[in-house]
Chain A
Amino acid sequence: MRRLSHRRVAAVSLAMLGLWLLLVLLSLNIGSVPIGPGRSAGLLWHRLLHGGGGTPAEVILFSVRLPRILLGSLVGAALAVAGTAFQCLLRNPLADPYVLGVSTGASMGTIIYSILAASSGSLAASGAGIYGRPLAAFLGAVMTVAAVYVVGGAGRQAGEGSQRLLLAGVVLASFLSSVNVFLLTGTDQADLRGIFYWLIGDLSRPVDASIYLVAAVVFGGFLILYGHGQSLNLLSAGEEDALILGVEVRRVKAAVYLVASLITGAVVSVSGPIAYIGLICPHLGRMLFGSDNRILLPAVLVFGAIFTLGADTVARTVLAPVELPVGVITAICGAPLFIYLLYRRRYP
């Protein structure tokens, strides 16, 4: 095992970013209107240097495909990082924001906010309009984490604790997603297909200005988690050991739960609950780069972006011209991996 250093972390992160950039260029060219790689790279270059024009090709590239590519990357990065954090805290490789119900809780927050906003037009008109959605999603996420803790943590013994929390999360997730369907059916919504897609996790809906807040939350949250890398390493060895080795366990746990819920809530408010990204990406990241969070977190940040962008590109092309929600593709990849991990897991 080679020793970690700032240089190695930077090298891995840059290599991953290069890979992501390649995939961005590739994904720009894929779609119902074929635009060759040379042409799109040229247009991109021209736009960066001289600003944009209004040709149909440019509209497709920069108003349709590029925002969606960036959105998918942001959502994937956030969910992968949140999954890594949850897995460390619960000491369980099966934990992720979706399995734990955090994503579903966040989407419930979003739905309730939308219903309230629709019934009182003033809410949407006021300044809360932009930030209300992510805030409501965050509240939904945090309340779900708290509920998972109350349900799964009751009378827990050391060792079985994380299994119970996970089980509580799974049950809560299925409960909340039924509540979500109930809430949505009760409202007078024209766009049933859009809602149905969003509930599975979808990147095709246009975003508003709140995306800047979401991006700031994701990157700020990532930096906070990265700052706790050493503590997360020790926490994954056990709480008593972490205390002995110098971690302020209560403070770190609270901070990491809050930040992981915050970034989950932020992206779910835009994309809906996308399954299993937070499970697959940390797991593959660990296979490639080891379990040290000081390299895993930055690697997984980019890896999440790559994976989700790849999945979304498949989602919008595999049945073209019909587009699938990205959550279908991630679940098709993720569920078998979950089962494999469950099957292979050795209990110490």
Chain B
Amino acid sequence: MMPPHAAGAALEARNVGFSYAALELKDICLSLAPGTITGIVGPNGSGKTTLLRLLDGILAPASGQVLLNGSVPLSALSRREIARRIAMVPQNGGGSPFHTVFQFAMQGRTPHLPRLGFETAADEAVVREALEMTRLGDYLHARVAEISGGEKQRLLLARALAQQPEILLLDEFTANLDINFQVELMRLIRQLTRERRLATAAVSHEINLLAAFCDRIVLMKEGRIRRQGSVAEVLTRDNLRKLFGLDFLVRPLPSGVPEVLPVMDESGQS
């Protein structure tokens, strides 16, 4: 495990605790470094979404702190200030179904506008670029109600990119996407993470997708971080078996990235 108080972290959770209904998050120490993607893996109900909401300041930690740039606690910032620096792609993004794709993505510019101001041509350019990158350039005037689930997912990413954040949080981001879009968008996210020095965190059940694109992996179970570190360090058969209570086949690909397969065949059980 890496030292919890990493230098140069864009966003850092220090001993964060939080409890909510049946779930209790305890002693969460996690730092997101600029230019890296951190994948968060864990069974349902392990607190992954709650962790992302704590990292975005939507939930306030009951103990510990979430710090921006290693020094500024999120609790000291307004929602608007946070939204200029942290963008989140939520699991079930809302949106008025009567908005057009372009109007929806434009919402990402709101935190940057003056209080009583309006979007300018520069804001439109940012939004257009974000929609082009997410392959929605041909849908600008389509209604949000009319686009497919996968297109909606890409639209939520476009809105987050329009925020021009320093930190990007993705919750079950690939859930509604075809395999080709999963790969294409993870490529885009990795490229943006590197070029714009974003600190990115992605929650997903697609372990192999995270293994291929992340720099670090965090394993969560029952509100605690069980393991964190490089992909090869963390995604081992032993760790995964403890996490999911299921046997896994783990083998390294030629690139060195581990490939993970759950063992589902009853007869093949060891």
Residues of A with C-beta under 8 A to B83: 244-246
Which chain B residue has the least Cβ–Cβ distance from A8? B118
Contact in complex: A233, B118 (CB < 8 Å): no
Contact in complex: B56, A230 (CB < 8 Å): no
Residues of A with C-beta under 8 A to B103: 1
Contact in complex: A3, B124 (CB < 8 Å): yes
Which chain B residue has the least Cβ–Cβ distance from A348? B97
Residues of B with C-beta under 8 A to A4: 118-119
Contact in complex: A291, B95 (CB < 8 Å): no
Q: A240-B90, A346-B97 are in contact. Are A234 and B107 (CB under 8 A)?
A: yes
Contact in complex: B110, A237 (CB < 8 Å): no
Contact in complex: A243, B58 (CB < 8 Å): yes
B254 within 8 A of A: no
Hey, what's the 0/1 contact readout for A291-324 against B, CB within 8 Å counting as 1? 1001000000000000000000000000000000
Distance between A118 CB and nearest chain B CB, rounded to angstroms: 46
- Inter-chain CA distance A65–B161, complex, in Å, is 56
- Inter-chain CA distance A247–B57, complex, in Å, is 12
Which chain B residue has the least Cβ–Cβ distance from A286? B98
- Inter-chain CA distance A6–B114, complex, in Å, is 12
Contact in complex: A241, B93 (CB < 8 Å): yes
Residue of A91, A229, A245 touching B107 (CB-CB under 8 A):
A245
- Inter-chain CA distance A234–B79, complex, in Å, is 13
From 13 to 72 in chain B, residues with beta carbon under 8 angstroms from any chain A beta carbon are 56, 58
Distance between B149 CB and nearest chain A CB, rounded to angstroms: 12
Contact in complex: B99, A246 (CB < 8 Å): no
- Inter-chain CA distance A248–B83, complex, in Å, is 11
Given contacts A1-B103, A240-B90, 12 further A-B contacts (CB under 8 A): A1-B102, A230-B115, A233-B110, A234-B110, A240-B93, A241-B93, A241-B94, A244-B88, A244-B90, A245-B110, A291-B98, A291-B99
Smallest CB-CB A-B distances: 7 pairs: A238-B94, A246-B83, A246-B111, A246-B80, A348-B97, A4-B118, A246-B79
- Inter-chain CA distance A346–B121, complex, in Å, is 33
- Inter-chain CA distance A248–B97, complex, in Å, is 23
- Inter-chain CA distance A6–B115, complex, in Å, is 13
B174 within 8 A of A: no
Residues of B with C-beta under 8 A to A32: none
Distance between B176 CB and nearest chain A CB, rounded to angstroms: 15
Contact in complex: A227, B115 (CB < 8 Å): yes
**Can you list 5 pairs linking A and B with CB atoms under 8 Å apart?**
A227-B115, A233-B107, A243-B79, A246-B78, A248-B80
Contact in complex: B79, A247 (CB < 8 Å): yes
A5 within 8 A of B: yes
Which chain A residue has the least Cβ–Cβ distance from B108? A245
Q: How many A-B residue pairs have CB under 8 A?
A: 82
Hey, what's the 0/1 contact readout for A190-206 against B, CB within 8 Å counting as 1? 00000000000000000
Which chain A residue has the least Cβ–Cβ distance from B169? A244
Residues of B with C-beta under 8 A to A248: 78-80
B113 within 8 A of A: yes
Q: A246-B80, A246-B111 are in contact. Are A5 and B94 (CB under 8 A)?
A: no
Hey, what's the 0/1 contact readout for A337-348 against B, CB within 8 Å counting as 1? 000000000101
From 104 to 127 in chain B, residues with beta carbon under 8 angstroms from any chain A beta carbon are 104, 107-108, 110-111, 113, 115-116, 118-121, 124
Q: A237-B96, A238-B93 are in contact. Are A244 and B58 (CB under 8 A)?
A: yes
B84 within 8 A of A: yes
The listed residue with most A CB atoms (<10 A of its CB), out of B56, B81, B95, B96, is B96
Which chain A residue has the least Cβ–Cβ distance from B83? A246
A236 within 8 A of B: yes
B163 within 8 A of A: yes
Distance between A81 CB and nearest chain B CB, rounded to angstroms: 17
The listed residue with most A CB atoms (<10 A of its CB), out of B81, B87, B111, B120, is B111
- Inter-chain CA distance A1–B121, complex, in Å, is 13
Distance between B107 CB and nearest chain A CB, rounded to angstroms: 6
Distance between B109 CB and nearest chain A CB, rounded to angstroms: 9
- Inter-chain CA distance A346–B143, complex, in Å, is 13
Contact in complex: A238, B95 (CB < 8 Å): yes
Distance between A95 CB and nearest chain B CB, rounded to angstroms: 14
Residues of B with C-beta under 8 A to A234: 107, 110
- Inter-chain CA distance A240–B145, complex, in Å, is 18
B82 within 8 A of A: yes
- Inter-chain CA distance A5–B102, complex, in Å, is 17
B204 within 8 A of A: no
B100 within 8 A of A: yes
Distance between A38 CB and nearest chain B CB, rounded to angstroms: 42
Contact in complex: B94, A246 (CB < 8 Å): no
Distance between A256 CB and nearest chain B CB, rounded to angstroms: 16
From 118 to 167 in chain A, residues with beta carbon under 8 angstroms from any chain B beta carbon are none
Contact in complex: B79, A241 (CB < 8 Å): no
Which chain A residue has the least Cβ–Cβ distance from B145? A348
Which chain B residue has the least Cβ–Cβ distance from A251? B79
Residue of A91, A227, A237, A249 touching B116 (CB-CB under 8 A):
A227
- Inter-chain CA distance A348–B143, complex, in Å, is 12
Distance between B86 CB and nearest chain A CB, rounded to angstroms: 8
Hey, what's the 0/1 contact readout for A205-221 against B, CB within 8 Å counting as 1? 00000000000000000
Q: A244-B56, A244-B88 are in contact. Are A237 and B115 (CB under 8 A)?
A: no
Distance between A260 CB and nearest chain B CB, rounded to angstroms: 19
Q: A3-B118, A3-B124, A294-B118 are in contact. Are A245 and B163 (CB under 8 A)?
A: yes
Distance between B161 CB and nearest chain A CB, rounded to angstroms: 13
Distance between A138 CB and nearest chain B CB, rounded to angstroms: 27
Distance between A317 CB and nearest chain B CB, rounded to angstroms: 37
Which chain A residue has the least Cβ–Cβ distance from B123? A3
